[in-house]
Amino acid sequence: MPVAAESILRVALPLPLPRLFDYYAPEGHAPMPDDVGSRVRVPFGNRELVGLVAAIGAPDPDAPALRAALSLLDATPLFHGELRDSLHWLARYTHAPLGEVFATALPAALRRGEPLPDTHAWAWVLTEAGVTAHSRLRGRPRRLADLLLEGALDESRLDDQFEDWRSAARALLKRGLAERMAIPATQYAPTPQPGPTLNAEQRVAIDTIQATDGFAALLLDGVTGSGKTEVYLHAIADCLARGKQALVLVPEIGLTPQTLTRFRARLGVPVHALHSGLNDGERARVWAAAWRGEARVIVGTRSAVFTPLPDAGLIVIDEEHDGSYKQQDGIRYHARDFALVRGKALGVPVLLGSATPSLETLHNARGGRYAHLRLTQRAGDARPPSVRVLDVRKRPLQAGLSPELLTAIRAALDAGGQVLVFKNRRGYAPVLLCHDCGWSAQCKRCDAPMTVHAGGRRLQCHHCGARQAVPDACPDCGGLALQPQGIGTERLEEWLAETFADVPVLRVDRGSTRRRDALETLLTELGTRPGILVGTQMLAKGHDLPNLTLVAVVGIDEGLFSADFRSGEKLAQLLIQVAGRAGRADKRGEVLLQTHHPEHPLLLTLINGGYHAYADSEFTQREAANFPPFAPLALLRAEAQHAEPPLAFLQAAKAVLRDVDTQLELQGPLPAPMPRRAGYQRAQLLLSAGDRRSLHAALDAALPAIYALPEARKLRWSLDIDPVDLY
Ligand code: ADP
Ligand code: ZN
Ligand code: ZN
C-alpha cells in the first residue's frame, strides 16, 4: 500500500538520546506543517511520554514498524518562530538532545502535558443584594464593599489596596453579596509614579538605548547605587510605550518583593514575576500570559530566559556577572548568553547591567562588540564608601574578629547605624575535630569534611546534604574531646549576639532563610534600627538596606588561593558587591576588610584601582594561560560508583576527539577536584580550542562515536560548554 509522503511525526522526546523518534500521527489526524512545535503524547516502551513535534516527514522504509502517537496536545504550536529557532540553536550549541532542550524551556505543568492554562484575571463585584446590604455591613467585609461600591475591582488591585481582602471577599461571597468574574488579563494598570530626575550619565545611557535600531548588546557598567535600575525602568517604559514586551532577568537573590514593588509602582502595568518560589500552576500561567502577549513585563530568574515573547521590545539582564545564570545540571545553558542569542534573533536590544561585569562581557565591550555605557557616580547625593584593609596578622582574634573591627562595630551601632558582617562560611563550624587523637568528621559519601550545625549538635555535608547527630564520643579513640574548629556564620551570630546584646543580630544565609519571605519579614522587622546582619554571599545583594553604614568582611583569605581560574574574578566581584552595600543617600559608608594577606595583589589592585584595574590584570593572565574569554572551554564529566569506569570512558572519549581534531587541547582525564561526591566517583576531561567554531566542529564530529562507546553504558556522563566551575 502506498504511504503518503509526509505521513509521520518526528518527535523530540525528553530522553538523553541525540535523535528524533518517528510516530504515525494519532488516529484520524493527517500530519500538517502546523503540527511542528506542538506537544504530542506518545507511547515509549511501556510508558507514555510528552514530546514535541520537531518535523513531519516520510517514514523510513527500512525502519521497523512505527507506533502511532496517542494525541496532539496543542491546537496552536507552543513553540514557533523565534523561540523555536533559538531552542534549536541552543540544542546545537550545548550538543544536547532537542527533546531535553524543549523540556527545559517548558514550565513543569506544560512538560507533563497539561493544557495551556487560562490566563484571565479575576475581578470582584457586588451583587444587587450586596449593594442593598452595603450600609449594614461591618468590619473587613464593609471595607471591601466600600471599595467595590464604585465598580468591579481586579484582584491585583485589591492586593495593592487592602492586605486581607480575601477573607472579606469569602465572607461576602458566602452571603451572596459579591461574586468573582473573569476579565481580560491586561486591564488593570496602576498609575505610574514619577522617578528621580536623571543625571547626565543616566541620560546618555538611555539615549543610546533608545537610539538602537534592532539588535544591539549594551553593557551598562555602573557602580553600585549609580542608578542602573532607573535606567532599566526608563528603557522598559519606552519599550511599553512602543507597544512591546520587556523581559528582565535578575539573579535568584535579586528578585525581592521590594524589586517587584518598585517595578510595579513605576511602570504602571502588571509585572509578571517568574521565580523558584512559584508553584507549577503559577509558573505555567505566567508563561501562558507571555505566550499570548498579555504579560507585558516579565521579571524572572534564570529559566525566565525561555519566556515566549511574541511582541519583544527589550531584554534586560541585571547583575549579568551573577553565577546563578548558569544552569549547573541537565541542559547547562547560560541565561545571559542565551538571552543575547534571542535578542539577536528577535532584533531587540539586550541591556546587560553590572557593577562588576564578567570578564566575558567586558572583553566584548572592549572589543567594540557591545556598546559600553558607564555610570561612574553614585546617584543622588550618595558618596562611595571608604575601604580600609585591616591587617590581622598576630592580632588577638575573638570569633575570628580583631579588636579594631569590634571597636568599629561598636562605634557604628552607637551612631545609630546598621552593620553587616560578611563571612562566606555557612554553619556553626567548618570541622569537628577530636582533640585527643586528631580524628575529624568526614562525609561517608564525599571527599569532604562535614560542617557542624545547630549550635554544635548536628553534622551536615554541604555537598550531598547528608546529616547526622554529632557523636557523643570520638569514633576512633572513644575520647570525649570533640571540638568544633573554626567559625561559621551560626557561631559568629551566637558570639555577636552575646557581645552586642543591646541590638538585634540577624543571620542571613541559606540555613536561616530557606524561604524568601522569611528573610523579607526579618529585614522588614529590623527596619532602620541599629543592628547587626551576619551572613554569607546572600547578603551581597537583594533587600535594600539604606541605614547600613559599616560592612565588615572577614574570612576571605582562602578564596585568595583557590586553584579555580575563575576564583579571583568571583572574589573580586563579591568584595565589590558586598562593599557596595555600605552607605546610601545621606550616610557615608565604611568597609573594613580583615585579612592575613594585606599585600595580596588582588586586594591591592582592587582597593587602589577598583574593579577595572583588577580586570586589566586578570585579562593579562587569562590571555597568557589561554583561558576564557580568550579561548573557549568545554568539560566532559563522568561519574560512577567506582573510580575506574569514568577514567576509562574519558580516556576512550579523548581518543575519539584526538582522532577528529589533532589541534584540540585535551587535559585529563583527571579525577575531579572533589573526586567523590554523594557516593559517586567523578572524573573530567577539559577541552579547549583556538576558537569556538573548531571546538564545536570537533564535538559534532566526535559525539556520535562517544555516545556509542561501550564504556559509556555503565556510567553517567555530561558535556558542559563554557563551564563556569571546573569541577
Ligand atoms: P543601582 O541599580 O545601580 O544599584 P538604583 O537604580 O537602585 O541603582 O539607584 C540607587 C538609589 O539612587 C535608588 O534609591 C534610586 O531611587 C536613587 N536614584 C537613582 N537615580 C537617581 C537620580 N538620578 N537622582 C536621584 N536619585 C537617584
Ligand atoms: Zn579521637
Ligand atoms: Zn557528602
Nearest ligand to the CA atom of 462: 3
Pairing of strands 633-640, 386-391: unpaired
The full DSSP string for 354-382 is ESS--HHHHHHHHTTSSEEEEE-S-STT-
Lowest mean pLDDT among 58-67, 109-118, 610-619: 58-67
Q: Compute, in angstroms, the gap from residue 562 CA to the centroid of ligand 3.
A: 21
Mean pLDDT (whole number) for 558-579: 87
Q: The whole model's pTM is what?
A: 0.90
Cα separation of 235 and 210, whole Å?
Answer: 7
Closest approach atom of ligand 1 to CA 195: 16
pLDDT at 512: 57
Half-sphere exposure for 19 (CA within 13 Å, toward CB):
7
Closest approach atom of ligand 1 to CA 233: 6
Model confidence over 411-453: pLDDT tens digits?
A: 999 999 999 999 988 899 999 999 999 999 999 999 999 999 9
Assign 3-state DSSP to the chain and report helix, strand, coil percentages, each to 5. Answer: 35, 25, 40
Maximum mean pLDDT: which of 121-135, 270-284, 471-485: 471-485
Mean pLDDT (whole number) for 522-532: 87
- Strand, coil or helix: what is 694? helix
Closest approach atom of ligand 1 to CA 202: 23
State how far the alpha carbon of 696 is from the alpha carbons of 95, 657, 687, 703, in Å.
8, 11, 11, 10
Query: Mutate which of 198, 224, 229 to test ligand 1's pocket (most atoms within 8 Å of Cβ)?
Result: 229
- Strand, coil or helix: what is 693? helix
pLDDT at 2: 43
Q: Find, among 353, 292, 293, the residue nearest to 321 by Cα.
A: 353
Q: Which residue has the higher pLDDT, 662 or 80?
A: 80
Residue 67: is its pLDDT beyond 50? yes
What residues contact residue 221 under an 8 Å CB cut-off, 6+ apart? Answer: 354, 355, 357, 362, 365, 372, 373, 374, 375
Phi, psi for 671 (deg, rounded to 5): -60, 145
Q: Find, among 590, 610, 577, the residue nearest to 224 by Cα.
A: 577
Phi, psi for 419 (deg, rounded to 5): -125, 140
Cα separation of 314 and 218, whole Å?
Answer: 11
| Confidence band of 467 (pLDDT split at 50, 70, 90) | very high
Ligand 1 and 546: CB distance under 6 A: no
Helix (H) or strand (E) holding 425: none
Q: Compute, in angstroms, the gap from residue 369 CA to the centroid of ligand 3.
A: 43
- Strand, coil or helix: what is 59? coil
Closest approach atom of ligand 1 to CA 226: 3
Do residues 118 and 87 make contact, with C-beta atoms less than 8 angstroms apart? no
Sign, Cα dihedral of 657, 660, 662, 665: negative
Helix (H) or strand (E) holding 170: helix 165-174
Helix (H) or strand (E) holding 575: helix 567-579
Q: Compute, in angstroms, the gap from residue 456 CA to the centroid of ligand 2.
A: 17
Q: Find, among 316, 302, 298, 287, the residue nearest to 251 by Cα.
A: 302
Q: What percent of the chain has pLDDT over 70?
A: 97
Q: Which three cell numbers stand for residue 493?
A: 551570630
Cα separation of 600 and 344, whole Å?
Answer: 41
Do residues 362 and 205 make contact, with C-beta atoms less than 8 angstroms apart? no
Q: Compute, in angstroms, the gap from residue 451 CA to the centroid of ligand 3.
A: 10
What Rg value do the Cα atoms of the chain yield, rounded?
28
pLDDT at 514: 54
Q: Compute, in angstroms, the gap from residue 672 CA to the centroid of ligand 3.
A: 15
Ligand 1 and 244: CB distance under 6 A: no
Model confidence over 178-232: pLDDT tens digits?
A: 998 877 665 556 677 888 999 999 999 999 999 999 999 999 999 988 999 999 9
pLDDT at 565: 87
Query: Mutate which of 221, 226, 230, 548 to test ligand 1's pocket (most atoms within 8 Å of Cβ)?
Result: 230
Nearest ligand to the CA atom of 481: 2
Nearest ligand to the CA atom of 468: 3
What residues contact residue 89 under an 8 Å CB cut-off, 6+ apart? Answer: 341, 345
- Burial environment of residue 624 by CB neighbours within 10 A (0 to 12, 13 to 18, 19 or more): exposed
pLDDT at 185: 62
Terminal-residue alpha carbon distance, the chain = 56
Helix (H) or strand (E) holding 670: strand 665-677
Ligand 1 and 229: CB distance under 6 A: yes
Mean pLDDT (whole number) for 522-534: 87
Residue 1: is its pLDDT beyond 50? no
Cα separation of 51 and 109, whole Å?
Answer: 13
The number of residues making up the chain comes to 727
Do residues 420 and 550 make contact, with C-beta atoms less than 8 angstroms apart? yes
Give the residue, by CA position, lying nearest to ligand 1 atom 8.
227
Do residues 117 and 288 make contact, with C-beta atoms less than 8 angstroms apart? yes
- Burial environment of residue 325 by CB neighbours within 10 A (0 to 12, 13 to 18, 19 or more): buried
| Confidence band of 384 (pLDDT split at 50, 70, 90) | confident
Ligand 1 and 224: CB distance under 6 A: yes
Half-sphere exposure for 255 (CA within 13 Å, toward CB):
24
Nearest ligand to the CA atom of 234: 1
Q: Compute, in angstroms, the gap from residue 447 CA to the centroid of ligand 2.
A: 20
**Angle (nearest 5°) at CA 360 between 698 and 383:** 170
pLDDT at 241: 92
Do residues 262 and 192 make contact, with C-beta atoms less than 8 angstroms apart? no
Ligand 1 and 646: CB distance under 6 A: no
- Burial environment of residue 268 by CB neighbours within 10 A (0 to 12, 13 to 18, 19 or more): middle
- Burial environment of residue 709 by CB neighbours within 10 A (0 to 12, 13 to 18, 19 or more): middle
Nearest ligand to the CA atom of 382: 1
3-state SS string for 88-149: HHHHHHHCCCHHHHHHHHCCHHHHCCCCCCCCCEEEEEECHHHHHHHHHCCHHHHHHHHHHC
Phi, psi for 317 (deg, rounded to 5): -125, 105
Q: Compute, in angstroms, the gap from residue 409 CA to the centroid of ligand 1.
A: 27
